[in-house]
Amino acid sequence: MNTIKRIALIGPESTGKTTLCRELAGHFHSVWVPEFSRNYMETLQRPYTLDDIEYCTRQQLAEEDRLLPQANQFLFSDTELIVAKVWCEDVFHSCPPWIEQEIPKRKYDLYLLTFPDLPFTEDPVRENPHRRDYFFDWYLRELEARGFECEIVRGSGALRVENAVKSVGKISPLQ
């Protein structure tokens, strides 16, 4: 019986996560889960709060659960709980316990950590153009501390996609 492998893209802002998710889903003829917080934050008419991050995180998980039955071998997620944890801790200096508790329960089969080797592209929801190395290192520490399977994705354009495809190809969708 096929088991769907869940793959999370994680990394600093403006490192191609959304593009990679879309490209990987197309390459593997599967589905991907867009980042819920992006659209939510774009329409927010006030500064975001910790409650907003929690809401976005819950919606992200619900959307992933909703799309999982449509996946073909792999489900690609354009963010996950470690990103929420880091976001909470960086902005609000604390993380709701439920987020930390859910991380091992919702472990992905592979984390693709996007290296900040692409030019930063400004947009209304991005906040940290000069802290991408800092966040990359933080995400890597989080993944390593948990012993989660992680591949770093480098390169630009087609090479970045090719490198991500190779990383995904290292895990078998069959169990």
- The domain that holds 158 is classified in CATH as 3.40.50.300
Segment 69-76 shows an average pLDDT of 96
CA atoms within 13 A on the CB side of 9: 32
Measure the CA–CA gap between 13 and 142, rounded to whole angstroms: 17
Mean pLDDT over each residue of the chain, to the nearest integer: 93
Q: Note the pLDDT of residue 55.
A: 97
Q: Which two tokens stand for residue 72?
A: 């073909």
Residue 36 lies in a domain: yes
Domain count, the chain: 1
> Would you say residue 141 lies in a domain?
yes
pLDDT at 127: 80
The pLDDT, as a whole number, for residue 113 is: 98
Does 12 reside within a domain?
A: yes
Neighbour-count burial of 1, counting CB atoms closer than 10 A to its CB (0-12 exposed, 13-18 middle, 19+ buried):
exposed
Judge whether 90 lies within some domain.
yes
With left for phi above 0 and alpha for psi between -120 and 50, is residue 25 left, alpha or beta? Answer: alpha
pLDDT over threshold 70, residue 37: yes
Q: What is the DSSP letter of 130?
A: T
Confidence of residue 35 (pLDDT cuts 50, 70, 90): very high
Sign, CA torsion 71/77/80/84: negative
User: Is 174 within the bounds of a domain?
Assistant: no
Is 122 a member of any domain?
A: yes
Which run of H or of E encompasses 77? strand 74-77
Read off the pLDDT of residues 105-114 as tens digits, 9 standing for 90 and up.
999 999 999 9
Amino acid at 174: L
* Whether pLDDT at 173 is above 60: no
Residue 4 per-residue DSSP state: P
CA atoms of 53 and 55, how far apart (whole Å): 5
Asked if the structure places residue 175 within a domain, the reply is: no
Residue type, 46: R
Range of the domain at 142: 5-169
Whether 142 is covered by a domain: the verdict is: yes
| Residue 174 confidence (pLDDT) | 47
